Amino acid sequence: MLVTFLGTAAANAFPEAFCKCDHCEQARLHGGASLRKRSALLVNDDLLIDLGPDIMAASQMHRCSLTNVRYCLQTHPHADHFDPSHFLSRSPGFGVIGAPELNFYASAETIQRAAMTFERDLADYSLLSVEAEKLLNLAIHTIEPFVPFTFGSYRVIAVPANHAPGMGAMLYAVEANGRSIFYGIDTAELFEQAWQSFIRFNLHFDLVILDHTYGLRESGSDHLSASQFVQHIVRMRREGILKPDGRAFATHIAHQGNPAHADLVEYTRSQGYEVAYDGLILEI
């Protein structure tokens, strides 16, 4: 599996355009890997995790074509992960001819919110209508937590995130060709039922990507801090959920608690994990 980080920032990007804090000023000075767009992930060239607000910019900047994307796993409907105008921009009506049909997978709550936003702001027809499927070259699939589903060469298990109660936020375990990854943003400490599901479904990840929003700050109720990140990885390694040679990467990086990239790399290396950056490609 090839994994490309299209974005690695939390909700307000990094550097945050309106902010003069030390972290943002350092990130501006260093540029490169310190410049983070809102989080999204590309698996191989056909599976996108999150139809995020910055995927167009990411595609341009990292010369990463999304023309083969035919599957999208949506974590939740927060605006830093979901821009429904992309349904339109990839459609024949916007001049995109011959693109594969997009199979969009999300929880019922996320789909409901997506439909609400789409109809309120973007179109005079329902996102959930037959008309929409045709006009947008789109198939929408409602997924349930802990019920494995498959498409193409992928097998996916959705796990509820400890985040945005009532929005049906999901984290995803994705397996293909004998390799497996876990994409764990946005979330606070994983629910115990998530841990149990890893064991029940016999999941052993080659790559774990986890929320690092708070960084070196105190943790909160909706995301992870660096110390919580470490606790999760230690437990995953101890229980064999992360393979002995598996890699752990931090993403969804906010400017308040995380320094610019070079300093963050130094810190995370000392703690036994790695930090992603925009445009990073991993072969798993």
User: What is the C-alpha separation between 48 and 51, in angstroms, rounded?
Assistant: 7
161, 109 Cβ separation under 8 angstroms = no
- Determine, following the binding rule CB under 5 A, whether residue 36 of this chain makes contact with Zn ion: no
Quote the least distance from Cβ 187 to Zn ion, whole Å.
9
From the centroid of its chain, how far is CA 28? 24
Q: Is residue 193 within 8 Å of residue 162, measured between CB atoms?
A: no
Verify binding: residue 278, Zn ion, rule CB under 5 A: no
Question: Do 264 and 20 touch, CB atoms closer than 8 A?
Answer: no
Say whether residue 19 binds Zn ion (CB under 5 A). yes
Q: Of the two residues 70 and 113, which places its CB atom closer to Zn ion in the complex? A: 113
CB-count burial class (<10 Å; 0-12, 13-18, 19+) for 117: middle
Supply the minimum distance, in Å, between the C-beta of residue 6 and Zn ion: 14
Q: Can you tell me the distance from the alpha carbon of 42 to that of 39, in angstroms, rounded to the nearest whole number?
A: 10
Tell me if 186 contacts Zn ion by CB under 5 A: yes
Site for Zn ion contains 264 (CB under 5 A): no
**Residue 29 in the binding site for Zn ion (CB under 5 A):** no
Query: Any contact of residue 199 with Zn ion (CB under 5 A)?
Result: no
Binding mask 60-79 for Zn ion (x = CB under 5 A): ------------------x-
**Closer of 16 and 83 to Zn ion (Cβ):** 16
Cite the beta strand spans of the chain per DSSP E.
Answer: 2-7, 40-43, 47-49, 71-73, 102-106, 138-142, 149-151, 154-160, 170-176, 179-184, 205-211, 242-251, 274-275, 281-283
Q: Which is nearer to Zn ion, 78 or 261 (CB)?
A: 78
Residue 83 binds Zn ion (CB under 5 A): no
Helix, strand, or coil (residue 7): strand
Return the residues of window 132-161 that contact Zn ion according to CB under 5 A.
none
Give 9 or 241: the residue with its C-beta nearer to Zn ion: 9
Tell me the closest approach of the beta carbon of residue 56 to Zn ion, in angstroms. Answer: 18
Query: Residue holding tokens 């950056």?
Result: 277
Number of residues that bind Zn ion (CB under 5 A): 8
- The window from 15-23, 57-65, 136-144, 195-203 that contacts Zn ion (CB under 5 A) reads 15-23
Site for Zn ion in 239-258 (CB under 5 A): 255
Q: Figure out which of the listed residues 80, 83, 109, 278 binds Zn ion, where binding follows CB under 5 A.
A: 80
Backbone angles phi, psi at 231, to 5 degrees: -60, -40
Distance between terminal CA atoms of the chain?
5
Q: Write out the residues near Zn ion by the rule CB under 5 A.
A: 16, 19, 21, 24, 78, 80, 186, 255
